[in-house]
Amino acid sequence: MTIIEPDKRRGRKARPTSTVVAAAPPAAMPAPQHAAAGGALDREFMLALVKDTSVDLDRLDRAIEMQKRERATTAMVEFDLALSLVQTELPVIEKKGTVDTGKGKFSYAKWEDINEAIKPVLSKHGFALRFAIDQTEQGIVTVTGILSHAGGHRETTQMRLPIDTTGGKNNVQAYGSSTSYGKRYTAAALLNLTARDEDDDGKAAGTAVITDVQADEIRGLIEKSGTDINNFLRWAGVDSIPDITAAAYKNCVGALKTKIAQAQKAKGP
């Protein structure tokens, strides 16, 4: 490039001079990124190592595994931190649903109310909640709740439920009822949700039913003891486990635990 440089000496004309404009120094090469942040450069870096014949593949495998463990740990920490923030913002869910069993009424939180309340909070903190539904055996539906975070970590919980045929439901309604029930309780378990009654009429009338936690305990004991759930419900005089009254709770639990103990004793040491 040629420029005109003024000559500072008196009486001399400006003379052309030739100068070279140096190119700007190259920017520093970015460090490989973690997969959680995009991972494109990281993958290119690893591919370059694989193609390099001088690299010890055993050492490369160990390095990859170490990197995976590091990412998993980081993702878990991010998950726990975000979940702690979510739980400070989740509202208490009102139990707007009501079931009349003929032996008393009980209220419950509807899935649509739960979903509406928690979705904005989950989205704000990078969470997604979804469900896998499967009918693994005749008359049983399995609902798996999956809580995943943008950082890459996820946690799951699973619930096995009988098809709810109470109240004259057809097959589709029975399947939908059990699925909705499973969604409510797996979501509550993953997020530690709290629900409250809109009123206390049931308790005041002496017809209070067992809590959600007590119902889950009884289900676990039924499964552990190998008890047929329909036989158990007939014995308890109810149409479904949530219909069991608080007054009958101890008797139900005691009977199931006794059956488990007898079965273990029969097996011997």
Contact at 8 Å (CB) between 242 and 215?
Answer: yes
Amino acid 131: pLDDT = 96
pLDDT at 262: 83
| pLDDT in the model for residue 27 | 43
Task: Give the per-residue pLDDT at 202.
Answer: 38
Give residue 25's pLDDT.
Answer: 42
Query: Which DSSP string corresponds to 219-266?
Result: HHHHHHHT--HHHHHHHHT-SSGGGSBGGGHHHHHHHHHHHHHHHHHH
Residue 134: how many CB atoms within 10 A of its CB? Answer: 12
Predicted pLDDT at 187: 93
d(Cα 197, Cα 106) in Å, to the nearest integer? 9
Which pair of tokens denotes residue 79?
């998950």
In the chain, where the domains are located: 57-97+107-198, 209-260
Q: Tens of pLDDT along the chain (269 residues)?
A: 444 444 544 455 545 544 444 444 444 434 434 444 445 556 676 677 667 767 677 877 787 788 888 888 999 999 999 999 998 899 888 888 887 766 667 788 889 999 999 999 999 999 999 999 998 777 889 999 999 999 999 999 999 888 877 767 788 888 888 899 899 999 999 998 888 765 444 343 345 778 888 888 899 999 988 898 888 888 888 888 988 888 788 889 888 988 888 888 777 65
pLDDT of residue 34: 40
Residue 101 has what pLDDT?
A: 63
Confirm whether pTM is higher than 0.95.
no
Which secondary structure element, helix H or strand E, spans residue 127, and what is its range? strand 127-137
